[in-house]
Amino acid sequence: TLGFIGLGQMGYPMAANLLRATSKTHNLVAYDTNTSSTTRLSKEGPVSILSNPREVAESADVVFTMLPAGRHVRGVYEQLMEGSRKDQLYVDCSTIDVKTAVEVAGWVHAKGARMVEAPVSGGTGGATNGTLAFMAGARNEKDLEAARPFLMHMGKVINYCGKSGTGQAAKICNNMMLGISMVGACETFNLGRRLGLAPELLNKILNTSSGRSWSTDTYSPVPGLNPNVPASKDYEGGFGVSLMAKDMGLAVAAATESQSPVVLGAAAEQMYKMVATTEGFEGKDFAVVYRWLGGEKELAKK
């Protein structure tokens, strides 16, 4: 029996892919505080919806979690440990701070169970299409190998980073790079527009020149340049700006603790915090920085 806790924008499509791929070989139990998400998952296939994390732990042999932040992971795993038993496998795909990841792994190991942290990259598109990349940390590779067959139903790439905590370290570094590059893309397109360059032309130039990045060729912040990304859907869905602010905060905190200078990372963190607390922007995708900078106002003038 498999268990899944956390059916948000990332967790739901991951759970749905896992359900579709394993419905003939495994039972699935699930839990989320949002009953609309659990009801929706029930329509995807045979799944038992349980009342709390403890029940999931009591029912499942392998438990996956995908939660918003460290405090949620702590709270859920405190309940999971009440029903935990020896040799169970827990896989946390949340993006959280290294300290919490290591501490929670310690709780699991103390119960005689196994723990794999496997934060993801690829966004909601990767979660929906089953093409996520996992950055895994575990006590040993044997524990990761036990989780691999199930992770491959939800993603395409699994990188073993080392002991518990290293998967989160890799994820924090990746998201800091992403956060910085998206701010750069937003500022670049805004500047280009104000200097008289059409976004379509500038995008073509960037993507055939040294300025090219994932934030320009795949996940453009400018509405219409990539038809299926949040920017072209009023910045709905995708990776929330508040979550990016959180992840940038994790990176800056880790940098402070390790005495690593992150000038651009710190500046980007402040920008995402400002955008996330601006009325009308709170629930939008992180590429909404472009709108916040005034880019769409320039489009409206044309």
Q: Are 111 and 143 in contact, with CB atoms under 8 Å apart?
A: no
CA 8, 23, 122, 109 torsion-angle sign: positive
Give ∠ CA 67-171-175 in degrees, rounded to 5: 95
Q: Are 49 and 164 in contact, with CB atoms under 8 Å apart?
A: no
Of the listed 43, 86, 142, 171, which one is catalytic?
A: 171
Tell which residue, 129, 88, 125, has the closest CA to residue 107.
88
Helices assigned H by DSSP within 195-262: 199-206, 214-217, 241-257
3-state SS, residue 5 = strand
33 vs 79: CA distance, rounded Å: 14
300 exposure class (CB count in 10 Å sphere: 0-12, 13-18, 19+): exposed
Active site residue 171: yes
Q: Are 147 and 117 in contact, with CB atoms under 8 Å apart?
A: no
245 vs 93: CA distance, rounded Å: 18
* Pairing state between β 62-65 and 89-92: parallel
Which 8-state DSSP code applies to residue 26?
A: -
Instruction: Supply the residues annotated as catalytic.
Output: 171
